[in-house]
Amino acid sequence: MIVAKRKPIDEIKDLLKDYKKVLNVGCGTCVAVCLTGGEKEVDVLCAELDMARKMDDNPVDIEGTTIERQCDREYLEALDSKVEGYEAILSMACGAGIQFLAERYPEIPVLPAVDTTFIGVNQGVGWYEERCRSCSSCVLGMTGGVCPVTMCAKGLYNGPCGGTNDGSCEIKKEQPCAWYMIYERLEKQGRLDCIINFKPAQNWENQVPRTLIQPGYEKPE
């Protein structure tokens, strides 16, 4: 899932300082699962902002609502009848959702309440770790299911570098060396031949905005 973290209240307050009537929109998918921008967090942020603005003697009329997915037109539609009359929209969705909202309501300022952080896994309640950089050319098949682009601090395709430190990355002891893990796993599986050959330079495909149209589908006119 996409993991995000909420921006500090002061930053959000600053973004909203010129607006008196704000709609705060949560998203019920990834950011809800990672406890950042779902229904509950929308309520908490609305209450925080309401209180903070009162204390600043600059009250705000803020209303919260959460839709299933901000990255999906079908669900955004539900907002069409609500946005009227708001000076600004605050979005608690990931960067994709925020942009989709801004695209739908181009006359209204749409502002981010979260920082989109990574594509990751749920290690425990409230504990998430990054696993994928969506590079568009997955090498997990040859690297024992450990992503060198994401999990190696240098994104090496021919690791490990000389800085690997008893299984840790040179950047810090707590960070496992991705290439050490790759080696260990492939060795156990008897598949070290997967990484024995030199891997040539990567053709980066994530340097321009990407579009995907599934086979059998077309982009509507």
Residues that bind another protein (CB under 8 A): 153-167, 170-171, 180, 183-184, 187, 192, 196-202, 204
Interatomic CA distance for residues 13 and 19, integer angstroms = 10
CB of 54 to another protein, least distance (A): 36
* Closest C-alpha to 36, from 104, 95, 103: 95
Query: By C-beta, is 128 or 179 nearer to another protein?
Result: 179
Interatomic CA distance for residues 36 and 51, integer angstroms = 20
Interatomic CA distance for residues 179 and 36, integer angstroms = 32
CB of 162 to another protein, least distance (A): 3
Query: By C-beta, is 35 or 153 nearer to another protein?
Result: 153
CB of 93 to another protein, least distance (A): 26
Query: By C-beta, is 82 or 154 nearer to another protein?
Result: 154
Residue type at position 5: K
CB of 179 to another protein, least distance (A): 8
Query: By C-beta, is 93 or 177 nearer to another protein?
Result: 177
Residue type at position 67: I
CB of 15 to another protein, least distance (A): 23
Total Cβ atoms within 10 A of residue 80: 10
Query: By C-beta, is 104 or 133 nearer to another protein?
Result: 133
Kindly write down the DSSP assignment for every residue of 28-90, as one continuous string.
SSHHHHTTSSSHHHHHHHHHHHHHHHHHTT---EEEEEEES-TT-HHHHGGGTTT-TT-SEEE
CB of 58 to another protein, least distance (A): 33
Residue type at position 188: K
Total Cβ atoms within 10 A of residue 116: 20
Query: By C-beta, is 134 or 158 nearer to another protein?
Result: 158
Find the angle CA(207)-CA(32)-CA(125) to the nearest 5 degrees. 100
